[in-house]
Amino acid sequence: MNTSVIRLKTSLQDSVLELLNEQIAMEAHSSSTYLSMAGWCYAQGLNGSGDYFKKQSGEEREHMLKLFDFITDAGGLPVSPDVTKIERSFEGLRDILVKALEQEIAITHSFNRISDHCHKVKDYQTARFLHWYLDEQLEEEQQARRCIEIYDLIGAEEGGLYRIDKEIIKLKTKE
């Protein structure tokens, strides 16, 4: 299909489509990063945290597909992203938890930026679609922050890591 046909089919503006496709790539990267974190946790015997991050990885893939489907429904061309530069070595569980929170904050900023752009170019349909992500990010940041609190409150010494690991997965089973 040539580009001119696609342009006739969609009301999505090029700049919005580009940002949505960039967000697809960000969600895919996030999904792979969480899977990498899960792998590291399992290798340390931290199975609760491994399960937590594997589940989180699946959720990021769902976020990616939701964007993919939105673009498709709007008549645009969604792009399957290359996923590269996934971090594989970590200093410890706390390092992973901090990185997970930083990743979620970066995603929130990205959605704010896209929403802002949608309002500027008067694409209210996409802006409304993005509300779901803004709500979701509030929850995801809160959960990532809670993981760090749990780590610091229990403390990793004297078997604490074992308890932390058990508490972290409980956050996902409550959902």
Give 85 or 122: the residue with its C-beta nearer to ligand OFO: 85
Give 51 or 60: the residue with its C-beta nearer to ligand OFO: 60
Sole residue written with tokens 């609190």:
149
Closest distance to ligand OFO from the beta carbon of 122 (Å): 24
Give 161 or 171: the residue with its C-beta nearer to ligand OFO: 171
- Alpha-carbon distance of 41 to 39, in angstroms, equals 5
Give 9 or 109: the residue with its C-beta nearer to ligand OFO: 109
Binding site for ligand OFO (CB under 6 A): 27, 30, 60, 63, 104, 107, 133, 136, 140
Closest distance to ligand OFO from the beta carbon of 31 (Å): 8
Closest distance to ligand OFO from the beta carbon of 5 (Å): 30
- In sequence order, the 6+-apart residues with CB closer than 8 A to the CB of 8 are none
- Residue 75's SS3 state is coil
Q: Decide if 57 contacts 39 (C-beta within 8 A).
A: no
Where does the chain have alpha helices with state H? 3-9, 14-43, 47-73, 93-120, 124-129, 131-154, 160-173
Q: Decide if 134 contacts 127 (C-beta within 8 A).
A: no
Nearest residue relative to ligand OFO (C-beta): 63
Closest CA to 114 of 52, 80, 71, 75: 71
Give 27 or 123: the residue with its C-beta nearer to ligand OFO: 27
Closest distance to ligand OFO from the beta carbon of 2 (Å): 32
Closest distance to ligand OFO from the beta carbon of 8 (Å): 30
